[in-house]
Every structure is written in C-alpha cells, then in structure tokens.
Amino acid sequence: LNQLEMFRFDELSELAGSNRELRHLLVVILQHSFSKVIQELSIVQARLLELIGRFREFKGRTQLLKGFLLHMEQKPDFRPVNY
C-alpha cells in the first residue's frame, strides 16, 4: 500500500499536457483502478493480520501441548493433585 502512494496523479496530469485522451487514461482510469486496488489490498491486509493472529494462537497452544507431553514422558507417574 505504501508503494502505491508513490504514484502522483498530479504529475501524470502534467505529463499528459493538453492531450485529452492521455489525460483521461492516466488520471481518470488509472486513478479509479488504483482506488479499487487499494481498497482490495486493505481488505486482504486486514484478513491476513487476523489469520496471523490465529496462527500465533494455535502455535502457542501447540507449544503448550508439546511441553505437557514432554513433561509426561519425563515423569510418567505424574498425577494432578486437584483438577
């Protein structure tokens, strides 16, 4: 998303000069496409952050379970005192 902000539509407008078709292509159509792409990328980014959070949660639980299993292997006679 940060790289997409590097596009300067005012500069593209200046480059197009008085060529109406080029100005329409570079400014109107490209800017409209960019706004759609930015919106979609924002949605994808939010979903990705959500999935990363869930992954970290599962990873933490997996490490906890592995630690418990290792403890049970080392001390097979372990019995919890009070559930």
Query: Quick check: 62 pLDDT over 70?
Result: yes
Cα–Cα dist 59/72, whole Å:
20
Look at residue 17 in the predicted model and tell me its pLDDT. 80
Query: Quick check: 53 pLDDT over 80?
Result: yes
Look at residue 83 in the predicted model and tell me its pLDDT. 67
Tokens representing 44? Answer: 């994808």
pTM of the model: 0.57
Look at residue 14 in the predicted model and tell me its pLDDT. 80
Cα–Cα dist 30/53, whole Å:
34
Spatial contact of 22 and 16, defined as CB atoms under 8 Å apart: yes
Query: Quick check: 15 pLDDT over 80?
Result: no
* Best CA proximity match to 29, nearest among 41, 37, 17: 37
Where helices occur in the chain by DSSP H, the ranges are: 9-16, 20-23, 30-74
Domain boundaries, the chain: 4-74
